[in-house]
Chains A and B, each alone.
Chain A
Amino acid sequence: MDNSIVKLRGYKDGLHLIVNPKISLSEIELAIQELFAKMNQPLTGTSIQIDMRPPVLNPEDFKHLETHLTETYNLVVNGVNIFEESGESPILAAPATHSIATDLSQGQNIDLDNAQVVRQTIRSGQTTRCLSGSVIIYGDVNPGGEVISAGDIVVLGALRGTAHAGANGGLTSVIVAMELVPLQLQIGSYVNRPPVGQKPRGYPEIARVGAEDIIIVEEFIKF
């Protein structure tokens, strides 16, 4: 497990902010600020759930954090999940009723008319294809799983499988993931294989075709 203070992950039922409660409230808020700063604007108005393992913040700090998320970042906190130490992973029954597509309209590079939202993890042997536009995945793309998109690919989780953006030949397409540890990336006709055994870096990354006609990967600050 990595020990970053806050992490943003897409699960079956939407976005979760995973908070490491052993740290003080001010450190948490600072970490959130840094995390969101890297993402530019795309989360405004989105609803999220907060995940925490014991020891949990005291109710006062909790209220404070919630207000902070609502007021400073315009997020809707629609649930709090406390996990037992046993480490069950947070998959939750109730599907959240929000869409991130509208929020992303503030980013310019996404072809919104035809963007497709996939609310699940793409598992080994599964392929998600969107040949009309971009695709946003609320979940992970696991090793052996594959996403093919005519436009961009945004994974609000870990991209551990294969992603092919610009499948119709578009070299301006990009691939963004909260954790970018893919088996293989393709943009248009360019292929990139990261070094074997690469560990997640702990921040979102973006892959695009660089000036040298190779796929470059860098920290995702904004489009």
Chain B
Amino acid sequence: MGKVIVITSGKGGVGKTTSTANIGTALAMIGKTVAIIDADVGLRNLDVVMGLESRVVFTSMDVIDKRCELEKALVKDRRVEDLMLLAASQRNRKDDIKPEQMKDICERLKEDYEYVLVDSPAGIEQGFHNATAGADEAIIITTPDVSAIRDADRIIGLLQNQGIDFINLILNRLSPTLVRKGNMISKNDVLDILNIDLLGIVPEDTGVIASTNRGVPLVHNDGSPGADAYMRIARRITGQNIPIPEMREDSFFSQIVNWFSRKN
């Protein structure tokens, strides 16, 4: 029996779809069986990011309306073994699906796959409830800005009310240069407020946009900082104990100053 992990954020555009695609691909690359579900009904784009758009024939809506079997609706990834995508309907709206129906799909998928990842839509409305209905665990994505953090905090409260207690954080688009200049909220500030475990930090990486446009998840492009970060995150999800590398948030200069002032 596998587990269902919802990837959610509250605020839009912080990297949920990017993270779902990359973590799903990375898990499959290290030999796990994975199904990823696009729960962003009406605005589907997980298939695009995965480069599978042209292969989508059926969607979760077809499964729910019994127009096709669940197995038949799953699209096989082009590059990695044991990675399946269940696409979202473009024509329908988020409230055309009920939480119980989503939950049913998740329960069936986790019988066959070790990891079922659900890409949640932004917001706290119906789409959020559908995406979280079958989840055993959650990964919150936030960027280091005040409004994303505020929304993440709200989402954590809602998930806890729903009985989802295993909630981890991915801090996306952290730019060490900006933190150093004091223009960005630091990792510790984010953790201080959200007070949940950190699963990983994904740096700002221009490779992300290029890979989105090509439909090839970044993790295929090893050596890029974003790809490395997602590979480490996937390994942590499988239970490996991989330390989170410290992004240097203090400038070299201020470290020296600290060192001197400690000595005196």
Contact = CB atoms under 8 A, between A and B. Distances in A.
Contacts of A86: 198, 243-244, 246
Contacts of A121: 195
A116 interface: no
A88 interface: yes
Q: Interface residues of B toward A: which range? A: 20 to 34
Given A124-B151, A126-B157, A140 B195 contact: yes
Contacts of A123: 153-154, 156-157
A87 B174 CA distance: 15
Nearest to A93: B165
Interface in B241-264: 243-244, 246, 262
Interface string B182-205: 000011100111111110000000
B30 interface: no
A115 to B, nearest CB: 23
Nearest to B193: A142
Given A86-B244, A87-B188, A89-B191, A143 B197 contact: no
Contacts of B157: 123-126
Contacts of B194: 89
Nearest to A89: B191
A121 B262 CA distance: 34
Contacts of B243: 84-86
A125 B158 contact: yes
A203 to B, nearest CB: 17
A88 B193 contact: no
B150 interface: yes
Given A22-B262, A84-B243, A87-B191, A125 B198 contact: no
A89 B196 contact: yes
Interface of B: 146, 150-151, 153-154, 156-158, 186-188, 191-198, 243-244, 246, 262
Please list the 10 inter-chain residue pairs (A to B) with the smallest Cβ-Cβ separation, ordered nearest first: A123-B157, A86-B244, A124-B154, A124-B153, A125-B154, A89-B191, A123-B153, A1-B188, A126-B157, A142-B153
